[in-house]
Structure 1
Amino acid sequence: MDGLFLALIVIVVVALAFDYTNGFHDAANAIAVAVSTKALTPRVALALAAVMNLVGALISTKVAATVGAGIIDPPSGPGGLQVVFAALIGAIAWNLITWYFGLPSSSSHALIGGLVGAALAAAESVQWMGIVDKVVIPMVLSPLVGFGLGYLFMLAILWTFRNRAAHRTERGFRRAQIFSSAAMAFGHGTQDAQKTMGIITLALITSGHLSEENFEVPLWVILASALAISAGTYSGGFRIIRTLGRRVIQLTPAGGFAAQTVASGVMIATATVFAVPVSTTHITTTSIMGVGATRRLSAVRWGVAGNIVVAWVLTLPAAGIVAALAYWLTHAIVG
C-alpha cells in the first residue's frame, strides 16, 4: 500500500468522524423543539431524526459539488491531501469546542472555514467569488429569512386558530410536530451530509482517483456519509438540545411546529433549488427566535441569542486558524 493511498484512507476515516460529530452536534436542530414541547421523547425523536437524516442524504449531491469544487481549487498530490486533512481537523475541533459549551454553531461553516484556512496556509487557490456567492451571502440572508418567515407563519397560525379550543389545538400541533421534526431531519440530511460527501470526493480528486473534469460523488461515499451522520444524530448532542429547546425560548407545540416547518422548508429549498451550503443551525435558531418574537420581543432570551451569534461570527475564522495550524504541523511532520 503506497503512502498516497494510505493518506487517502486516513482522510476518509477523519471525514466520516467529522460527519459523525456533525450529526450529534446538529441533532438539536431536528428534535430540540419537539422534545421541549413533549411531542416526542428524546430517544424516539433521535431515532426519527437519524432515519430521516439518512433519507435526506440520499436525495441529492448538489451541495456536495459546491463544497468539493466551489470553495477551493482541488489541490494535487500528497500536499493536497494534507490540505484536506487539515481542513477536517479545523472543523472537528470547532464542533467539539462549541458542543462542549452548548453553543449551536454551524458545522457547515466550520468545514468551509477549515478548507479556506488550510488552503491559505498551503498557498493554494481559494475561489473567493464562490465563497461570497455561495457562503457569505447565504450566511447573512438565510437567518433573516428564517426569522422573518418564522414570525409571519406563527402569526398566521395564531390568527387561523384564534377561536379554537386551546387544549384541542395544542394536542393537534403536538401530533403535527412529529411530521415537522421528520421534515427538519430530512432537510438536515439534504444539507449537512452532503458536505462530507463533497470533502471526500475532493480528496479522491486530489489523490487522482477521480477526474476533476466531472465532479460526481461515488455511491459508496453517499452511503458512508449518510450512515455516519445518522449514527451521530442518534447519539444526540444533549448540551445543544437544551440550549435550543429551552434557553432561547420555551415554545408551545404550535410554535414548535411553526419553527420546524419554516426551517425545514428553507433548508430543503436551498439544497435542492439553489445548491448552496447554508447553516441548518442558523436557520433553526432564527426560526425559533422569529416564532418567539410573536409573543413579545422580550420573550426571547436575547443574551443567550447573543452568545450564539458570537459563535456564528467566530466559526469561519476560528476553524480556519485551527486548520492552518494543523496544516503547518502536518507538513512539518510529513514533509
Structure 2
Amino acid sequence: MTPILIVVICLALLFDYTNGFHDAANSIATIVSTKVLSPFQAVMWAAAFNFLVYFFVKDHKVANTISKIVNAHFVTMNVILAGLIAAISWNLITWWFGIPSSSSHTLIGGFAGAGITNALYMGSSALSAVKMSYVLTILAYIVLAPVIGLIIAYIVTVLILHICKKARPATAERWFKRLQLVSSAALSYAHGGNDAQKVMGILYVAVFTAHVIKQGDPMPNWIPLACYSAIALGTMSGGWKIVKTMGSRITKITPLEGVSAETAGALTLFFTQYFGIPVSTTHTITGSIIGVGLTKRLSAVRWGLTLNIIWAWVITIPVSAIIAAIMFALLRTFLPG
C-alpha cells in the first residue's frame, strides 16, 4: 500500500468514528430521554447493534451507490482525501454546536465537490464529474426520507394509541419501556447497515484507484469489518450535545412515542437500504420525532429549532463541497497527481 492510501484509509475510518458519535444520538436520544437506559447503557446497546450488521448484511447496495457518484475518470487519491477531510471537518463543526446534520450528506458533498473541482482543473464541465441519476436520487431523499419517517411515525403512534386506549397507564408505560429496547436496537442496526456502507463505498474506490484491486473485484472483507468496527467505537463515545437536541428539545418524548419514532426510523432505513439509496439517518429520525409530536398538536413541536435543523440540512452538501474544493486545490499544489 502507498503512503497516501494508508492516510486515506485512516481518515475514512476516522470519519466513520465521527459518524458514530455524531449519529449515536439518532439511535439513543429517545431511549435516554425516556430514562429506559442510562447514557452509558444506551451507547453500549447501540454500538453492539451497529456492529452486528457485519454478520448479516453481505449485499452492500448503498456502498455500491456511493462508489459511483463521481465518474471514475475524475477520481484520484487527492479527490478522495479532500472529500474525507471536508466531511470530517463539517461533522466536527456541527457536533460542536449540537446540530444534528447529516454525516451521510457531508461525505457525499465532500466527495462530489472534490470530483467536480478536479474535472474543472482538467478542462471538463462540472456536471460531467458526477453521475446525475445518483445525485438526483440522493437530493430527492433529503426531502423524502424525513417525510416518510414523519408519516410512518404519525400512523404508528395513532394506531398504538387506539389499540392501547383501554390499557392502564402504568402497565402501558412499563411495556413500552421494554419495547423501546427492541425499537432502538432495530434503529441502531439500520443505522449501522446504512451509514457504515457509505465509507465502504469510498474505501472501495480508494483501493481500486490505488490499483490494489481490479475493476469488478469483490470488496475485500477487511473493509466492512473495519467500517462496522469504527462506527461502533464512535457510537460508544456518544454525542451528548446532539442527544439533548434530538431527545428533548424538538418535542417531549414518552416511551410510547419513543417506540413509534424509532420504529418509523428503522422501517424507513430498511426500505432505503434495500434499494441502495444512501439516506440520512439524522433526517429520518428527526422527521419521525416530529411525526410523533404532531399526534399531540402542532405546537408540541418546537418549530423554531426544527427550522434551524432544516437549514443545517440544506447547507450541508454545498458547504462540504466548498470545503472539499479548497482542500483539493491545496492538495493539488502540494501533492501533485
With the length of structure 2 as denominator, give the TM-score of the two structures. Answer: 0.94
User: Aligned pair 1:40/2:42, yes or no?
Assistant: no
* 1:125 Cα deviation from its structure 2 partner: 2.0
Aligned runs of 1:1-335 on 2, under 5 Å? 5-58=2-55, 59=57, 60-69=59-68, 71-75=69-73, 80-123=76-119, 125-133=129-137, 135-212=138-215, 214=216, 216-271=218-273, 273-335=274-336
Q: Which shows bigger deviation, 49-58 or 303-312?
A: 49-58
> 1:215, 1:15 → 2: CA distance?
20
Amino acid at match of 1:314: I
Would the alpha carbon gap of residues 300 and 27 (structure 1) be closer, same or farther in structure 2, given more than 3 Å must change? same
CA 1:57–1:113: 2 relative to 1, 3 Å = farther
Question: Structure 1, residues 272-304: CA drift from partner, whole Å, max 9, x if none?
Answer: x21110000000001000011100010001111
Deviation per CA, 1:239-269: give whole Å up to 9, x if none. 1000000110111100000000110111112
Distance 1:176 1:152 in 2: 17
Runs of at least 5 residues in structure 1 that lack an aligned partner in the other structure: none
Q: 2 CA distance for matches of 1:54 and 1:93?
A: 24
* Deviation (angstroms), 1:183: 0.5
C-alpha displacement at 1:25, in angstroms? 0.2
Paired AA for residue 48 in structure 2: V
What's the CA shift string for 1:148-205, capped at 9, x where partnerless? 1111110111111111111110111011101111111000011000011110111011
Distance (whole Å) between structure 1 residues aligned to residue 207 and residue 242 of structure 2: 33
For structure 2, which runs of at least 5 residues remain unmatched after alignment?
120-127
Distance 1:177 1:147 in 2: 18
Shift of 1:75: 4.3
Distance 1:114 1:215, change over 3 A: farther
Alignment partners' CA distance in 1, 2:217 and 2:190: 23
CA distance in structure 2 between the partners assigned to 1:176 and 1:144 by the alignment? 24
Report runs of 4+ in structure 1 exceeding 6 Å deviation: none
Write the deviation string for residues 126-155 of structure 1: whole angstroms up to 9, x where unpaired: 11222112x112222111111111111101
Provide the rounded CA distance (Å) in 1 between the counterparts of 2:306 and 2:279.
19
- Provide Cα deviations, 1:91-150, integer angstroms capped at 9, x if missing partner: 1111011101101111000000001110111117211222112x1122221111111111
Matched residues in 2 for 1:324 and 1:81: separation? Answer: 14
CA distance in 2, matches of 1:101, 1:298: 25
SS state at 1:277 partner: coil
Kept in 2: contact 1:65–1:215 (CA 8 A) = no
Q: What SS does the aligned partner of 2:165 have?
A: coil
Contact 1:57–1:194 (CA under 8 A) maintained in structure 2:
no
Give the TM-score normalised by structure 1. Answer: 0.95
Sequence identity, in percent? 44
- The residue type equivalent to 2:155 in the other structure is L
Structure 1 residues 75 and 96, CA gap change in structure 2 (3 angstroms): farther
Specify the code of the residue in structure 2 equivalent to 1:18. Answer: F
Letter in 2 for 1:153: V
Q: What residue identity is the alignment partner of 2:272?
A: T
Aligned-residue CA RMSD in angstroms?
Answer: 1.3
Distance 1:264 1:130 in 2: 23
